[in-house]
Chains A and B, each alone.
Chain A
């Protein structure tokens, strides 16, 4: 559909590439309503947050422009630095554990067995159930005297724990909940990867007498690497953002032992109403996620270079 000879130069200018078909601007009406919504609830808040982070803005007090003062305050705020450390520990554990367990679960769910559909539905229930409701029940289970977890420990001869009530065990305990909740998502993503692998490599490996572990290590694992990477990325983003579980179970306590950046952001913005500083934390939290995503990409790139041909 080239431009007709009598078409004015005006329309020829308007369409940069006349030979491209089916790309008229008339699809815009479909997009505009959503564009308005996205501008209002996503782009505007972002622009406003960045602007506010450059101001001293406390509710009930006059606003003053302070430049980057809020950002300079961050590294000198021990509570913020500690929150970053908590976030990194929490995130590392909440990526690794679900990744390992989720891969194992995917291998198992790839097998054929009776009742697989029902069992898979049950298995993904933890991630669909309302997080606050889940957190509530976990809080009861963590209870040092009445909780069922210490009873289960006593059955296998282990001493009772303080779980979320002790600074040293609070983060691992919360990671336990996070892992229980989000392993299913990793399983689903990796299962999609395993399902796409052809059967031939397994058949020839079996003829060559490979063990189950060898087949997993040298066929399945390299081929699902891209899926594991996606799962790791999603898990990282969600772990850094994690709020409901931590807030409902510990509110960052005991003391501030489980206060992550997101929880500290909540305190600064909605307990102390220090909105300027809170906005700076919000920007840093976003940048933290972007930085970790870049780190993961870098690791993936390096892995590709070292095992040439492996992965995808």
Chain B
């Protein structure tokens, strides 16, 4: 407990405070904005904890029937795009890992660095031509651009590290490749499945650029719906902040409870969609 130790600890906690406070203060302020009446949100100096809480900011947002539609749209788009990506991406990651065809991952790399807008021009024309605009399908399909590369990339990494011996033993015992995949490789790679699933869900849920072009009035996902709120009631900050919080709430919850998986996935591939 020397002086040097105390100084070191103080410096450490001061550094921790410096680093973490922007995030904490931001989210606290977001929460504060969302539970205040207009009077408090327009007050100067700003009010942090109001005398009267405006819980109706939340009930107003949730009660508007459009919001439920948009919530359902978001669930459907993210759910289907992630489900399909797992369905095709997990076996693909396995196949690529076993064929040692790492070069094929170049396509994933190209997908990773291509700006999302670049996909929109051709796919927009394609969906128009197919008459799909106005349904959720264009968004589900284009979200695959985000989810499929994440799933494949992460699964390649996982299957490359799982032991081959078990699989070879099963093959010698007469199992088919599909059985080996289903009963040997897949159970071992379960942590990888969780990582791929969580990251795909988050990046699909957060996606904005695809919706802004492809979504119609009835097919908006939550991020697009929130963006449209800005232009319509610019002056009522309370409900806006409440809506922003509701949209990010599922993702923030995932971040807290699946932190380990998220960190593992982001540092392994650092694949972000969009």
Q: How far is the CA of A98 from the CA of B252 in the complex (A)?
A: 21
Chain B 225-257, CB-CB to A under 8 Å as 1, else 0, gives: 011001000000100110111011001101110
Q: How far is the CA of A22 from the CA of B100 in the complex (A)?
A: 10
Chain A 199-243, CB-CB to B under 8 Å as 1, else 0, gives: 000000000000000000000000000000010001001101101
Q: Which A residues between 111 and 148 are near B, CB-CB below 8 angstroms?
A: 111, 113, 117, 119-126, 128-134, 136-137, 139-141, 145-146, 148
Determine if A188 and B205 form an interchain contact, defined as CB atoms under 8 angstroms apart: no
Determine if A108 and B23 form an interchain contact, defined as CB atoms under 8 angstroms apart: no
Determine the chain A residues whose CB is within 8 A of the CB of B121 once the complex forms: 45, 49, 52, 269, 275, 278-279, 282
Max chain B Cβ within 10 angstroms of own Cβ: one of A44, A120, A121, A265: A121
In the complex, identify which listed stretch (B52-60, B63-71, B266-274) lies at the interface while the others stay far away: B266-274
Determine if B255 and A124 form an interchain contact, defined as CB atoms under 8 angstroms apart: yes
CB of B145, distance to nearest CB on chain A (Å): 5
CB of A249, distance to nearest CB on chain B (Å): 10
Determine if A265 and B117 form an interchain contact, defined as CB atoms under 8 angstroms apart: yes
Q: How far is the CA of A23 from the CA of B263 in the complex (A)?
A: 33
Residue in B13, B122, B125, B223 whose CB lies within 8 Å of A133? B223
Instruction: Answer whether residue A83 sits at the interface, using C-beta atoms and an 8 A cutoff.
Output: no
Determine if A125 and B252 form an interchain contact, defined as CB atoms under 8 angstroms apart: yes
Main secondary structure, interface of B, reads: helix
Determine if B274 and A241 form an interchain contact, defined as CB atoms under 8 angstroms apart: yes
Q: How far is the CA of A285 from the CA of B116 in the complex (A)?
A: 11
Known: A30-B181, A43-B107, A241-B115. A137 touches B152 (CB 8 A): no
Q: Which B residues between 54 and 101 are near A, CB-CB below 8 angstroms?
A: 84, 87-89, 91-92, 94-96, 98-100
Q: Which B residues between 13 and 32 are near A, CB-CB below 8 angstroms?
A: 13, 15-16, 19-20, 22-24, 26-27, 29-30
Residue in A44, A108, A113, A237 whose CB lies within 8 Å of B122? A44
Determine if B123 and A45 form an interchain contact, defined as CB atoms under 8 angstroms apart: yes
Determine the chain B residues whose CB is within 8 A of the CB of A31 once the complex forms: 91-92, 95-96, 99, 104
Residue in B99, B111, B113, B141 whose CB lies within 8 Å of A23? B99
Determine the chain B residues whose CB is within 8 A of the CB of A30 once the complex forms: 91-92, 94-95, 98, 177, 181
Instruction: Answer whether residue B154 sits at the interface, using C-beta atoms and an 8 A cutoff.
Output: no
Determine if B115 and A285 form an interchain contact, defined as CB atoms under 8 angstroms apart: yes
Instruction: Answer whether residue A71 sits at the interface, using C-beta atoms and an 8 A cutoff.
Output: no
Determine if A269 and B120 form an interchain contact, defined as CB atoms under 8 angstroms apart: yes
Determine the chain B residues whose CB is within 8 A of the CB of A117 once the complex forms: 259
Determine if A241 and B177 form an interchain contact, defined as CB atoms under 8 angstroms apart: no
Determine the chain A residues whose CB is within 8 A of the CB of B162 once the complex forms: none
CB of B220, distance to nearest CB on chain A (Å): 12
Interface size in chain B (residues, C-beta < 8 A): 96
Residues of chain A at the chain B interface (Cβ within 8 Å): 22-23, 26-31, 33-38, 40-46, 48-49, 52, 101, 104-105, 108-109, 111, 113, 117, 119-126, 128-134, 136-137, 139-141, 145-146, 148, 151, 180, 185, 188-189, 191-192, 230, 234, 237-238, 240-241, 243-244, 247-248, 262, 265-266, 269-270, 275, 278-279, 282, 285-286, 289-290, 293
The 10 closest A-B pairs by CB, nearest first: A30-B95, A34-B92, A133-B244, A48-B122, A31-B95, A30-B91, A282-B118, A33-B88, A45-B122, A34-B88
Residues of chain B at the chain A interface (Cβ within 8 Å): 12-13, 15-16, 19-20, 22-24, 26-27, 29-30, 33, 41-42, 44-46, 84, 87-89, 91-92, 94-96, 98-100, 104, 107, 110-126, 141-142, 144-145, 148-149, 152, 164, 168, 177-178, 181, 202, 205-206, 208-209, 212-213, 222-224, 226-227, 230, 237, 240-241, 243-245, 247-248, 251-252, 254-256, 259, 262-263, 266-267, 270, 272, 274
Given A30-B181, A128-B255, 8 more A-B residue pairs with CB atoms under 8 Å apart are A31-B92, A34-B89, A41-B142, A125-B23, A132-B226, A244-B208, A247-B209, A269-B121
